[in-house]
Amino acid sequence: MVSNLLESDVKDVLEVAFAGSDEELFVVDPPASTIVSLVDAAVARDDLPTMSMLADERVLKDVMDDFLVASKAADLLESGTLTLRVLPEDVDNALFVSESKVVALVSAGDRVAALSTTDEAFVSEVFETHRDAFEDAEEYALRTPSISRVRETMAADIGEDVRDDFDAVLASLESAGGDDGGLDEVTVSLLVAARNDVLLYDISKWGEDVGIASKATFSRTKTRLEDVGVIDTEKVPIDVGRPRLRLKLGDDRLVGVDTEEFAAAAAELLA
């Protein structure tokens, strides 16, 4: 049986691919927007099949440059909900392939069409073909730490108040539809550290240990933020060695701002 579905966005089409009791779903050559939607759907739900994704390496790199997406994908990888591998060659359309159905994703202007079939012989052949292709494909190495690990270690190493501010800033960036205003993960970490008077040494060591960025990257970003007056530092003497730097907010427009508005205010100052 073949059926067609025309929907307003990818998330609606995903319901067609996810419907049923299949335990495994192969996702073949998805565009960037579909990868983002898949990650969001998999994080938000616990009734989805295990996803084995074969995707173009350049598309994966572009999508995983976004910390919000990559850190959630890393959570899915660690839990075994998602596996990423590199597609060796292009296919005609993005495909969702399970043991019971094949769904082809086709863009139609500003809408999306899902063309699906449940023909047993055809589905079986396509499923086995892509299972073999997945087994032979190179694994995609995602270097971004999982958001769960980031949150847990920040609370333990830096403080729960800092973690709560970090969560709130990321949530506000996500609600802004991916427009981060230049606030990457290192910048956000430094800003919430400054909001809570954390030592540069502590936040940069944590960031390097958890895998967000090197201490050198944190230091360079701190200098940039200091140069534009968004953060400030004060020296804190220690018993042995050079004094350490305590991060402070450098602009009064960031002081006392609600956490939900903090990211927008910082982005405006950095623009």
Q: Which of 105, 136, 167 is the last residue of a domain?
A: 136
Provide the CATH number for the domain around residue 81.
3.30.870.10
Q: Do 131 and 159 belong to one domain?
A: no
Give 251 or 1, the one with higher predicted confidence.
Answer: 251
Which pLDDT band, with edges at 50, 70 and 90, does 264 fall under?
A: confident
198 domain residue, yes or no: yes
Instruction: State both tokens at 68.
Output: 């919000």
Q: Do 178 and 244 belong to one domain?
A: yes
Global pTM reads: 0.88
Q: Do 11 and 126 belong to one domain?
A: yes
Q: Do 96 and 222 belong to one domain?
A: no
Per the CB < 8 A criterion, the answer to whether 226 and 132 are in contact is no
Q: Which of 70, 102, 136 is the last residue of a domain?
A: 136
Q: Do 108 and 175 belong to one domain?
A: no
| Long-range contact pairs involving 260-265 (C-beta distance under 8 Å, separation at least 24) | 260/168, 260/171, 260/172, 261/172, 262/165, 262/168, 262/169, 262/172, 262/191, 262/195, 263/169, 263/172, 263/173, 263/176, 263/181, 263/183, 263/188, 264/172, 264/176, 264/181
Q: Do 105 and 204 belong to one domain?
A: no
Q: Do 62 and 160 belong to one domain?
A: no
Tens-place pLDDT, residues 99-137: 999 988 877 666 777 788 889 999 999 999 999 999 999
Domain that holds residue 175: 147-270
- Total domains in the fold of the chain: 2
Q: Which of 136, 168, 190 is the last residue of a domain?
A: 136
222 domain residue, yes or no: yes
Q: Do 102 and 168 belong to one domain?
A: no
Q: Do 94 and 189 belong to one domain?
A: no
Tens-place pLDDT, residues 8-61: 567 777 776 777 778 889 999 998 988 998 899 888 888 888 999 999 999 999
161 domain residue, yes or no: yes
